[in-house]
Amino acid sequence: MNTLKLDWISLIGMKDIAGLIKENDDETLKSLYTDNYQKVEHYVVKNSGSKIQAKDIFQESIIVMWRSVKKGRFEPKTMGEVNAYLFQVARNKWIDFLRSNEFKKTDYNGKENIESQELYDVEMDLHYEEQIRRIESAFSKLGRECQRLLKLFYYKKKSMKAISEILHIDAASSRNKKYRCMQRLRTIVQENNK
């Protein structure tokens, strides 16, 4: 007798995959990680890289894919499309890294050049990327409570009511605290820019 197995992959295949990525759904992210990491690691290690470098390349690539979906530049319909896109980004990032460092003399064919250029079009421009890094660095210096509150609101998309329940404070205090945390974040960014 055939058993109908509905695992997470099958389920999200039926759902709106782009929507789940935009919502920062934990299970979807975990699936993306487990489905793709080994393939990327194998590719990097086979092409003169280490496992540590593979991890970094994979992390940066999954961020590029995630941002592209959030900004509406990539609208996947299936998990297969996401996996293919993610591998393509990782592959091109690795080729780019090899070209810019000790493997400068390696000869690559024209096809890879075109694909690499296309993928760069969907990545952030360098100035924007630099701004993100500066704010991320400042964010890591915020107090734990502020980090938690801002993550709950902006990443987990929790309502202020839900946040006040999680933090055991009233809704007005949560709002005030969110404002103060953002002000603190802006101040650290400004201090770091001096």
Partner 1 sequence: MKAEEFNISQEDFELVERLHQGDLTVQERALLEEKMKASEALSQFAEEYLIYIDAIETSAFRSKLSEIEETVQFSQDARSPKKSKPSLNLIRFVGIAAAVIVSVCIIGYLWNAKASSYESIYASHFKPDPGLPTKMGIQDKYSFNKGMVSYRQGKYKEAIKEWTDLYVERKDSDTLTYFLGAAHLADHNLKEAKRYLEATKSLEKNTFQKESEYYLGLCFLAEGNVKDAINVLRDCQDGRAEALLKEVTEE
Residue 166 near partner 1 by CB under 8 A: no
Write the Ramachandran bin of 142: left for phi over 0, alpha for psi from -120 to 50, otherwise beta: beta
Residue 29 near partner 1 by CB under 8 A: yes
**Site for partner 1 (CB under 8 A): which residue of 97, 116, 122, 171?**
97
Which amino acid appears at position 36 of this protein?
Answer: N
Residue placing its CB nearer to partner 1 in the complex, 1 or 184: 184
Which amino acid appears at position 81 of this protein?
Answer: E
Tell me the C-alpha distance between 157 and 144, whole Å. 18
Residue 77 near partner 1 by CB under 8 A: no
Residue placing its CB nearer to partner 1 in the complex, 2 or 193: 193
Binding segment for partner 1 among 12-20, 83-91, 115-123, 134-142 (CB under 8 A)? 134-142
Q: Residue 22 in contact with residue 69, Cβ under 8 Å? A: yes
Q: Which of 111, 97, 104 is nearest to 60 (CA)?
A: 97
Q: Residue 50 in contact with residue 102, Cβ under 8 Å? A: no
Residues contacting 172, CB < 8 A, separation 6+ = none
Residue 173 near partner 1 by CB under 8 A: no
**Site for partner 1 (CB under 8 A): which residue of 9, 11, 84, 132?**
132
Output the smallest distance, CB 132 to partner 1, in A.
5
How far, in whole angstroms, is CA 109 from its chain's centroid?
29
Residue 33 near partner 1 by CB under 8 A: yes
Residues contacting 157, CB < 8 A, separation 6+ = 23, 24
Interface contacts to partner 1, rule CB under 8 A: 24, 26, 29-30, 33-34, 37, 50, 52-53, 55-56, 59-60, 62-63, 66-67, 70, 97, 100, 128, 131-133, 135-136, 139-142, 144, 147, 150-151, 154-156, 175-176, 179, 182-183, 185-187, 190
